[in-house]
Structure 1
Amino acid sequence: MKILVPIKRVIDHNVKVRVKPDGSGVDLANVKMSMNPFDEISVEQAVRLKEAGVASEVIVVSIGVKQAQETLRTALAMGADRAILVLATEDVHDNIEPLDVAKILRKLAEDEGADLILTGKQAIDNDMNATGQMLSALLGWSQATFASKVEIENGTARVTREVDGGLQTVNVSLPSVISVDLRLNEPRYASLPNIMKAKKKPLAEMTLQDLGLALAPRLKVITTNEPVARAAGIQVASVAELVENLKQNGVLQ
């Protein structure tokens, strides 16, 4: 069984995001970039499935700029077998929209003969949470979202999903697209020996023309703003004073 894992290069989750002065987008100059945290979880799950003998090959894919090579190398160091970089733009500020990403992944999945696609449920830069669902529709495959547990057996994936108020377990037939949530696993750290080995693993580069595709942007960012700053808190001397303050501010009736 082949597993395809899309990964995205995003601003590191520990970095404070800055908006450009003109409000046209996020400032990426001299900013640390890393793998999308949800994608780290999907890579880890794919590697675990291979280690368990369920999968024969794990292929990681990134779509965007050439700098995404380092992100792919990280995934290879975690245990993926090979990587594919689709050069879709030269500008790090260009955002490849979910539908375009889904179309690219559909072509790669068909060309590679993938049986399972594991995606992060969303990217932390735009929080779209759309690519996996769109990809499932384009391929005509089954799908399961927000997975906190995945078991593969006899051509079926048993997926435990996180839903409002609890957990839901579903069985989906393979091939399938599964998007993963935070509590599925704890991604491993790549050891130094594996980082060195990753440098020798195959990393293929291709363009949209190689795939016979072209981007068709449908969204336009009008403006980007910083979140509204929170008002400073106050200290109270007693519970009675706290209750009285809450009443005065309309929080309590």
Structure 2
Amino acid sequence: MDLGIANRTAIVAGGSRGCGRGIVEALAAEGTRVLFTGRNADAVNATQAEVRSNGGQVTGLVADMTTRDGVTEIMDAARAAYGDPDILIVNAPNAFPKRSGHLRGFENCADEDYLETFDNHVLSVVRLTRAVLPAMKARQWGRLLNIGTIAFKTPHQEDPMPATDVRIAVAPLQRILAHEYGRWGITANIIATGPFESELSRDYLASIPEIKTPEWYLRMLPVGRWGQPIEMGWLAAFLCSDRAAFLTGEVIRLDGGYTKSLF
């Protein structure tokens, strides 16, 4: 299927590793020009080299999407490389605050943990979206996509409160954007991710060996395996395509059947 996004321009904020890299690879395979970011220079350089070796038009940038200066740097680099973006995908950094790490329980979470999580997962989306909307409106076409979590639909009781409580604010934000900007051909959606093979997932599992193990996850997954980053990429590419123009304001689970709730 031709997704109709060849020669479109995309920003993938958080695209150097794991599912973010899978998204970069899938978009590049469709002929999209991609400016992607990461905070680890080695990972950024490795992903850029690999995707370019396969014929993709990509530019990697070491930048921090969670700061105002970082957002300005990302936008300047995207415009310099390919022009104003048609597509914005935000794959925000680790949901666990630096101070508390993987500590569990409400009493272990300070104000600073909530504020850090809000900066990382909500304000980063707000600032980047604000920066890309004018050009999307002018072109009468745009795709806004956030990479979220299945905790949006089924909160993880064993995770730190900010990881669940704060990140969900992106869901009503994307729904509001879908309603407000749909008249300009702009869609806004969320992929709620489940267990995927990634460095972040391995770190997460190592932090809770007494609660969840790889074997426990496999028993919970009807498909019998973890997801692969490129599978995230394929769904993201579709949601950002011409073929998904009527799909907006949705939180779409991609979890191998892990979540048992109906909606």
Question: What TM-score results when the alignment is normalised by the length of structure 2?
Answer: 0.37
* Higher alpha-carbon Rg: 1
Greater fraction helix: 2
Structure 1-normalised TM-score? 0.39
